[in-house]
Amino acid sequence: MRPDKVLSLLGIAAKAGSVMSGEFSTEKAIKEGKACLVVVAGDSSDNTKKNFSDMCRYYQVPCVCYADKESLGHSIGKEFRASLAVTNEGLAKSVRKQLDSVATESWR
């Protein structure tokens, strides 16, 4: 299996201190205008996906559904994570560029 560039970039963003993870922190980042990109795990509940989709639409933050909780958490050096927000504009653009090349399910 080849390395996942999206998850690698999320790891780099986490090391740079540009990731807020977990539902509470992700929501806080969105509402405070810090989130540049929100990533929700594909195996999150439909309620979680809808909650972040609606919130991101309202606050005009790009939101994507990618990977699973274990992969998302592992990529940033944590346990399971259903959601995370990238707070650095440059890193968020890099992640989105990779996501576009992977052609994932996207809400925006």
What tens-digit pLDDT sequence spans the chain (108 residues)? 456 999 999 999 999 999 999 999 999 999 999 999 999 999 999 999 999 999 999 999 999 999 999 999 999 999 999 999 999 999 999 999 999 887 644 444
Q: What is the pLDDT of residue 1?
A: 45
Q: What is the pLDDT of residue 3?
A: 65
The SS3 of residue 61 is: coil
Residue 69 within any structural domain of the chain: yes
Going by C-alpha positions, the residue among 78, 71, 76, 32 that lies closest to residue 55 is: 32
- Our count of domains for the chain comes to 1
Residue 81 within any structural domain of the chain: yes
Going by C-alpha positions, the residue among 44, 43, 49 that lies closest to residue 63 is: 49
In terms of residue numbers, what domain contains 82?
A: 5-102
Can you give the pTM of this predicted structure? 0.92
Please report, for the domain that includes residue 95, its CATH number.
3.30.1330.30
Residue 107 within any structural domain of the chain: no
Report residue 33 as tokens. Answer: 């205008």
54 HSE (CA, 13 A, CB side) = 6
Residue 78 within any structural domain of the chain: yes
Residue 77 within any structural domain of the chain: yes
